[in-house]
Chains A and B, each alone.
Chain A
Amino acid sequence: MTETAAKKRRGRVSRAVKSTFSYAVLAAFALAFLIPFYIILITSFKATNRLATSTPFVWLPAFRDLGWDGYRNLFTEYTVTKTGASMVLTGVKNTFLVAVPVVFVGMLASCVSAYAFAKIDFRLKKTMFGALLFSMMLPGIVLLIPSFVIFDFLYLTDTFFPLIVPAMFGSAAGVFFLRQFFSGIPDELLDAGRIDGMGHARIFLQIMIPLSLPAILAQAVLGFIACYNDYLNPLIYLRQEEKYTLQIALQMFSGGNMTHLPTVMAGAVLALIPTIAVYLVAQKYFVAGITMSGLKA
């Protein structure tokens, strides 16, 4: 009797030790992720550069030492020479000019293609799908220089064309993921649609799309974040300031000089807000999108 009671107690104690240990490790990592974000956030609101770069670091500045100077500088101090417009706002505008067609048209192309691969049986299916899969294993970087030379030959460098048009054809990863999801939609539903006289277009728009919205949203979110954060392509293709995307604009004016730290950090905070916001809102779809494309590979 006493022996089992002692065993039970020991079990409870060890479980308590285990969960305390777990919490300690998890919290340590949580802090390692949170502190850097807190540091850039609080620095962006510090009123003076001297306070921002003081040692030891001021974790909780007095209220009177806080200000909007970083953000005001960010929007007013850096202007596009030719137009006089704020460089950051121009960058935001350009980023969305690129991202909107890429995400919408690219998603549509991926969806249509995935529908064909999942629900229509045709002769070239295996070959075509194999080619797509193979392209995912290629190191994309080989394409960087020849693509640039080709677009330069076509007078398309320093335009948004190389950033937008190739992506509008859809992506292999998108097709791969969506096909997986579409395959899970029962054929009986499609049959029922056909009995009602639906063709491919209506089956696609009225059955497949509505039933797959979470998957499509997951891919769209991933696509938006990748496009918004892209740096290498805009860096090589865009030359004139008024065409810079946000990432390039930020790097250009704060990459070299750290003269006013609150401004630089305000830029970083501003660049982080959209993707973190999208992630937090669409977290469920986002995580599903990542895990599905990873686990089924």
Chain B
Amino acid sequence: MENHIYKAGKKTAKNNVIGALLASPPLIGLLLFTAVPLVFSLLLSFSGLKGFDVSDMRFLPAGELFANYKTVLAHGLFWKSLLNTLYAAAALPLSIVLALLLAQLLNQKLRGKKIFRTLYFIPFVCSIIALTQMWRMLLNTQYGILNEFFGAFGIAKINWLGDSKYFMPSMIVMGVWQTIGFNFILLSAALTNVNPGYGEAAKVDGAGAWTRFWRITLPALTPTLFYLLVMGLIASLQEFTRFQAINQTVPGGPDNAGLTVVYYMYRMSFEQNITYGMGPANAAAWLLTAVVMLITFLNFRLSKKWVSYD
């Protein structure tokens, strides 16, 4: 009686072929547009290619095989861009904490809940180019609303995007503003999945709201917080668009305060490839990959101490 109709659930010879065939398009894409460039990037990082013409590509002599990596590691600007990128990533924890606050506040019976939810998420769907133009206006020294707001408290006008001291804090504020919505949506969904029974039981036992949040709600949210942290870090270590678009008069910001690692790579390969070119740019790409992988690994390692999956 073992049905002969439902064959799709069995590893028949026919299914082995049809299944693999139907499943394959994204994998073919992965092979052609991810695996091939990935290997090629590694090769380029050991080559002396400056421009884009592959026929000029020569590998570095065996003795100097790591010359590109040495060049990048000895380049002060690379380290600066790495520090800038890590500094900019400070937006992530801020964004997550504020999103958690909003999600927790909206996880109660309130009128107009839906409007708040809708509103908080809007910046996340917006074009980053449009948002950088918006923030350039908000942060403008002369007529920006931020200086007008602070001026009301007697604070002198600040050149937010033109002063290397204030450039990154401005970008962090913008980053938090832009990403709160995403973190908020995921945390809200996770909050509705927290079993209310535990909270009720703790309440009967006399636990206050604060204790209940720390002991019951927060542990239940740790898998989501971990996901947001891992994915958010991978994304913020690769930031580029905002930083390239925000300051066109001084690319990279005053004193390169806004030069991220990806921007550094872009500069080496597309803007200054006469001096540097593909070799150092790809070496920088792999160094960044190593940093991303190291941080992700540490994240998973540390997660055993604070993430609870029950």
Contacts and interface: CB of A to CB of B under 8 A. Distances in A.
A39 B34 CA distance: 42
A53 B143 contact: yes
Interface string A39-83: 110010000000011111100000000000000000000000000
A122 B11 contact: yes
A148 to B, nearest CB: 7
Contact of A120 (B22, B24, B98, B130): B22
Contacts of A228: 127
B73 interface: no
A149 interface: yes
B296 interface: yes
Contacts of A123: 11, 16, 20
B171 interface: no
B144 to A, nearest CB: 9
Nearest to B282: A145
From DSSP, what is the main secondary structure of chain B's interface residues?
A: helix
**How many interface residues does chain A have, given as a range?**
35 or more
Contacts of B75: none
B139 to A, nearest CB: 11
Interface string A195-222: 1000010000000000000000000000
A117 B135 CA distance: 44
Given A113-B25, A149-B44, A169-B33, A268 B6 contact: no
Contacts of A23: 110
B98 to A, nearest CB: 8
Nearest to A119: B8
B265 A166 contact: no
B29 A121 contact: no
Main secondary structure of the interface of A (DSSP, over half): helix
A278 B133 CA distance: 21
A36 B144 CA distance: 11
B25 A229 contact: no
B105 A22 contact: yes
A56 B23 contact: no
B130 A250 contact: yes
Nearest to A166: B33
A26 B116 contact: yes
Interface in B119-149: 119-123, 125-131, 133-138, 142-143, 145, 148
A34 to B, nearest CB: 7
Contact of B133 (A109, A135, A265): A265
B145 A39 contact: yes
Contact of A291 (B189, B269, B270): B189
B282 A122 contact: no
Contacts of A115: 22
Contacts of A92: none
B30 interface: yes
17 contacts: A19-B108, A32-B177, A55-B148, A116-B22, A122-B11, A122-B23, A142-B38, A142-B282, A150-B40, A169-B29, A231-B129, A250-B133, A255-B245, A264-B133, A268-B127, A272-B126, A295-B224
Given A30-B119, A57-B148, A149-B44, 20 more contacts: A22-B110, A26-B110, A33-B119, A33-B123, A53-B142, A109-B29, A116-B19, A121-B10, A135-B34, A144-B266, A145-B281, A166-B29, A166-B33, A194-B7, A229-B128, A268-B130, A268-B133, A280-B118, A294-B224, A295-B190
